[in-house]
Chain A
Amino acid sequence: MIQALMSGLDLMWTPLSLGLTVLGVVFGLIVGALPGLGPLMGIVLMLPVAITLPPVAAMGFLIAIAVGGSCGGSISAILLRIPGTPLAAATLLDGYPMAQNGRAADATGIAISASALGGLFGGIVLIFFSPLLASFASQFAPPEYTMLALTGLIAIAVVSEGSLLKGLIVGAMGLLIATIGTDEFSTGYRFTFGSYDMLNGFHIVAIVVGVFAISEMTMQVASGGLNDRPAVGAVRPSFRTFLLTLKHWVNLIRSSAIGAFFGALPGAGGTISSFAAYAAASAVAKPEEGYGKGAEGGVVATESANNATVGGSLVPSLALGVPGDASSAVLIGALLILGFFPGPQMFQQQPEIVGGVFLVYLFSNVALLFVGILATPVFVWVLRLKKSYLIPVVLLLCAIGTFALQASVFDLWVMLGFGLLGILLRLGNYPLAPLVIGAILGPLLENNLRRSLLISREGFWIFLDRPVAATLVAANVLLILGALWMGYRRRQLKKKMQEPNNTATRSA
């Protein structure tokens, strides 16, 4: 592997490769921060340009878009309470409260630093453990995915701190929404009401933009003060937040490992990994850390996880030729068009390309750190705009981004409909994040459960027959017991503190 890296260095260390990687990061940050777009859209848009370039420069450009895009969504989540991509839905749980507490620059800087460090961790996993991780991931079949989806749903209990019942209600709503569309097993239509627009259900991005962005902008209008200029001081670029992030090194390593692991599992993805990392971090956190109220650790967990997922998803893509997610499927397509076949023989026959791709991935994370930190003042400047300027611009960007998904007016209606739902949920003090978790995990759980039972010749025993699935069953039982224990501990703490007013619910 070291030899591959050395031979790839010549291909990576060129002005073209380096320049395009930096450009890719900048472009990725922009498409990530704009609600509705995201890394996949960015990669798809730039694929025709990339395939005219030398292979390592092309892959550097596309991978950098994925890296920047995975981080970009956190910026709007922190500053405006609007996740630019579903990947950042978990980041606003603590990122936005941090900004509200006057720490917008810190939150943004921590998100960027954690993304870069998580990405580098993912890169190390990619370089040194590709074959091992790919071989472990290949043991994941429908029974394991079923149990993994259940693990994700249990995370709802964690992100619904303070209102478990409300969180579960919203999570169930997300699961129900996920049933809309074509049932892939019977090929029948469910809840489509004769509308062809609904044959594939609702687009997750339209749901996220609606629930978070439209409802947030509406609440901002309702709260008045449209012409007030927020008192936000100027911010200078500072790498202090990098050190702040390193203070959470245990959380950083744990969350990055979770991210890389989920990335290596085809189909799991960054949204699930960021919620899982958040759930893990808040489960072991001390109550005084204040998760959900602006904890640095919350931002570190979610952002390091979703960027480590990018590196993780390249593991099956390059080592086996199996796409880890939609973005890596497009990356594999790019490699094939350029004349390379990802998989074991690529490691043997074109080690310099493999090494070059690994190096541009690592460099894109370093570039993310520098570009992101230097641009933080520009991001925070957004907060100094009057609401009367900011709100229309954000709404316009939401509409453009959502329309761009499928050039569909229907998606705009979905966005508005879910915006209305988001407003109602906020008014009732219901958390929003479980809706996204339910909508994403619903298909994963249902399809893999039904697939497992079709494959099984002995019904539900398939979940105990397979070692990894059985381990996950046991882990899920422990997690449920842990969630119950946490609830008990929280109630005890409240009693002890004797603060009946300290039961503020969260609406994100």
Chain B
Amino acid sequence: MFKSLKKAMAVALIALCPLVAKAEYPERTINLVYPWGPGLTMSISQILAEAMSDELGVAMPVISTPGAAGTKGFLTAMNRPADGYTLIDGYVAPLVLQPLLGNADWTFKDFTPLHSAFSNPFAIAIRKDNDRWASFEELMAYAKEHPGDLRYSSGSRNNLPHMVIAKTLQGFGAVAQNIPYNADADAMSDLRSGVLDFAFINVAEYQTKPDAYKVLIVLSDLEGAKESFNGAPSIADLAIDLGLSGLAPMGWNWWLVHSDTPPERVAVLRKAMATAMARDDVQQAIKRLGFVPLKWDWDQYDEVVAQVQGQLTEMGNALKWEEEQLSKLK
């Protein structure tokens, strides 16, 4: 009975196949899963999604799905069908860092890239009227002489800025106490009011309040990054090699899809994103917000991300080093 019913259904499906018009992809809304809470960075993703939506002819809402350093957003997206209707805003933290820290069981190779999006260089700053240290080296010397005495913030804990700062401190043999914040703005406020001794700062924060901060070091060796912080010294100017270069000490993202997504749909998405990224209004909007548009296409993904991964592993070790040093002081 059941066997014949199954057969009949199979025959019916095969018979109906030609009748089902081969619909053009995409037919409906495509969601971009964004792994953080609403804010400035989400606005950029919305601009890019809007431009991509113009190319695709369907709406592309950005769905904020924060939690667990971005991994919740990734897991949410990966648990949806691999049909090209869910895109992942693949930030470096959930894409590469969290797997390195053992908080996620994927690698960057488990995703299919569409195109690179934007990068965000950052720096270490103190408040403007803080005259305790004239240079970054002086700050590091103090932190080395007074282990655990200084308080700093990298925004949330175990994120990219935290890793970069830990690696930098390790390079100088300096130990300071990291204070986690769930909103960068709160950390910046506490830096300005003197509660924190130093903190990471991004370009947008610096450009909105250049008179509030003194940038001691730009955590990037790229020339453009230096310019973004009004020509402040960068890690390229330091006498010691911190083992940080290129994209590794910066925030960046690629837009991705599930690796099982049909190739013809991936091709449509890649073309739309590349076109959107090349649009002048999109480029200008990204730059205006203090971010740098990235030009790498999907075929450079493996090479670019793999290069970064090695340095990020070293940074992960620096986090462990920082914890060990602080626990010795207790």
Give the B-binding residues of A (Cβ under 8 A).
40, 44-45, 47-48, 51, 138-142, 181-182, 184-185, 187, 189, 196-197, 199-201, 266-267, 320-323, 326, 329-330, 332-334, 336-337, 339, 341-345, 406-408, 443, 447, 451, 454-455, 457
Please judge, given known A-B contacts A51-B47, A406-B65, whether A322 and B71 are in contact too, CB under 8 Å: no
Q: Is the CB of A40 within 8 A of B38?
A: yes
CB pair A199 B68 closer than 8 Å: yes
Q: Which A residue sits closest to B178, measured CB to CB?
A: A454
State which of B46, B157, B209 has its C-beta within 8 Å of the C-beta of A47. Answer: B46
Measured between alpha carbons, how far is A323 from B42 in the docked complex, in Å? 14
Pull 22 A–B residue pairs with CB atoms less than 8 Å apart, ordered by A: A48-B50, A51-B285, A138-B193, A141-B190, A141-B193, A142-B190, A184-B182, A196-B68, A199-B75, A200-B72, A267-B186, A323-B185, A332-B40, A333-B289, A336-B288, A339-B288, A345-B210, A408-B65, A443-B182, A447-B182, A455-B179, A455-B196
Q: Which residues of B contact A (CB under 8 A)?
A: 31, 37-40, 42-43, 46-47, 49-50, 61-69, 71-72, 75-76, 79, 103, 149, 151, 156-158, 177, 179-183, 185-186, 188-190, 192-193, 195-196, 204-205, 207-211, 285, 288-290
| Cross-chain contact A321 with B209 (CB below 8 angstroms) | yes
Contacts known (A330-B38, A342-B208); A336 close to B69, Cβ less than 8 A: no
**CB <8 Å contact, A266 and B185:** yes
When distances are taken between beta carbons in the complex, the residues of chain A under 8 Å from B290 are 336
What 10 additional pairs, Cβ within 8 angstroms, besides A47-B43, A333-B39, A337-B289? A138-B192, A139-B193, A181-B68, A199-B75, A330-B43, A336-B290, A337-B43, A344-B209, A345-B211, A451-B180
Judge whether A199 and B67 touch: CB under 8 Å: yes
Cβ A326 vs Cβ B38 within 8 A: yes
**B191 to chain A: closest CB distance in Å?**
10
- Whether the pair A336, B204 counts as a contact (CB closer than 8 A) is yes
Given the complex of chains A and B, what is the CA–CA distance between A184 and B66 in angstroms? 13
Main secondary structure of the interface of B (DSSP, over half): mixed
Residues of chain A within 8 A of B196, CB atoms compared: 455
CB distance from B73 to the nearest CB of A (A): 9
Q: Shortest beta-carbon distance, B66 to chain A, in Å?
A: 6
**Please, how many angstroms separate the alpha-carbon atoms of A326 and B40 in the complex?**
10
> Is there contact, CB below 8 Å, between B157 and A44?
no
Q: Residue of B at shortest CB range from A406?
A: B65
In the complex, which of the residues A321, A339, A443 contacts B208, with contact meaning CB atoms closer than 8 Å? Answer: A321
What A residues does B209 contact at CB under 8 A? Answer: 320-321, 343-344
A442 → chain B, closest Cβ, in Å? 13
B208→A343 contact, CB < 8 A: yes
| Interchain CA distance A454-B326 in the complex, whole Å | 12
Contact (Cβ within 8 A) A330 B179: no
Residues on B with beta carbons closer than 8 Å to the beta carbon of A455: 151, 179, 195-196
Chain B neighbourhood of A40, CB < 8 A: 38
CA distance A201 to B158 in the complex (A): 19
Contact: B47 with A330, CB < 8 Å?
no
Cβ–Cβ contact A267 & B183, under 8 A:
yes
Across the interface, name the chain B residue whose C-beta is closest to A338. B288
Please, how many angstroms separate the alpha-carbon atoms of A166 and B295 in the complex? 59
Q: Which residues of B contact A139 (CB under 8 A)?
A: 193
User: How far apart are the CA atoms of A267 and B185 in the complex, in Å?
Assistant: 9
Contact A333:B192 (CB < 8 A) given known A196-B76, A199-B72? no
Whether A185 pairs with B289 at a CB distance below 8 angstroms is no
CA distance A364 to B151 in the complex (A): 43
| Distance from A431 Cβ to chain B, minimum over Cβ atoms (Å) | 29
Cβ A187 vs Cβ B186 within 8 A:
no
A336 to B43, CA, bound (A): 10
Set of chain A residues within 8 Å of B69, measured between Cβ atoms: 182, 187
Task: Tell me the nearest residue of chain B to A145, going by C-beta.
Answer: B186
Which residues of chain A are near B190, meaning CB under 8 Å? 141-142
Contact (Cβ within 8 A) A323 B181:
no
| Measured CA separation A267–B43 after assembly (Å) | 19
**Cα–Cα distance between A51 and B39 once the two chains are bound (Å):** 15
Would A200 and B66 be within 8 Å (CB), given that A334-B43, A337-B285 are in contact? yes
Bound Cα distance A455, B47 (Å) = 38
Q: Establish whether residues A329 and B39, one from each chain, have CB atoms under 8 Å apart when the complex forms.
A: yes
Measured CB to CB, the nearest residue on chain A to B72 is A199
- Per CB-CB distance, the 10 closest pairs between chain A and chain B, nearest first, are A200-B67, A333-B43, A321-B208, A199-B68, A196-B75, A199-B67, A329-B39, A199-B72, A48-B50, A141-B195
Q: How far is the CB of B286 from chain A (nearest CB, A)?
A: 9
In the complex, the answer to whether A199 meets B71 with C-beta atoms within 8 Å is: yes
Q: Which residues of B contact A457 (CB under 8 A)?
A: 149
What CA separation (Å) do A332 and B184 show in the bound complex? 14
Task: Tell me whether A329 and B40 are in contact (CB under 8 A).
Answer: yes
Is B46 within 8 A of A322, CB to CB? no
Question: What is the distance, in angstroms, from B264's C-beta to the closest C-beta of chain A?
Answer: 25
Q: How far is the CB of B90 from chain A (nearest CB, A)?
A: 17
Please tell me which one of the listed residues A185, A199, A407 contacts residue B157 in the complex, with CB atoms under 8 A apart. A185
**Shortest Cβ distance from residue A387 to the other chain B in the assembled complex, whole angstroms:** 34
Closest to A201 in B: B67
What separation, in Å, do the CA atoms of A142 and B195 have in the docked complex? 9
Partner of B47, one of A48, A140, A201, A332: A48
Report A-chain residues with C-beta under 8 Å of the C-beta of B195.
Answer: 141-142, 455
The minimal Cβ–Cβ distance linking A154 to chain B, given in whole angstroms, is 23
User: Would you give the shortest CB distance from A451 to chain B, in whole angstroms?
Assistant: 6
- For A333, what are the chain B residues with a Cβ–Cβ distance below 8 Å? 39-40, 42-43, 289
Using Cβ atoms and an 8 Å threshold, which residues of chain A touch B149? 457
Closest to A448 in B: B186
Contacts of A51 in B (CB 8 A): 47, 285
Q: A372 vs B189: C-alpha distance in the bound complex, in angstroms?
A: 37
Residues in chain A near residue B79, CB distance under 8 A? 196
Q: Which of A138, A345, A407 contacts B31 (CB 8 A)?
A: A407
Q: Which partner residue on chain B sits nearest A181 by CB separation?
A: B67
Tell me which residues across on chain A come within 8 A of B38, comparing CB atoms.
40, 44, 326, 329-330
CB contacts (< 8 Å) of B31 on chain A: these are: 407
Contact B63 A326 (CB under 8 A): no
Q: How far is the CA of A246 from the CA of B180 in the complex (A)?
A: 45
Residue of B whose beta carbon sits closest to that of A137? B189
Chain A residues with CB under 8 Å of B156's CB are: 184
B40–A187 touching, CB < 8 Å: no
Residues of A near B75 (CB, < 8 A) are: 196, 199
Contact of B39 among A182, A330, A454 (CB under 8 A): A330
**CB atoms of A329 and B179 under 8 A apart:** no
Give A407 to B68 CA distance when docked, in angstroms. 18
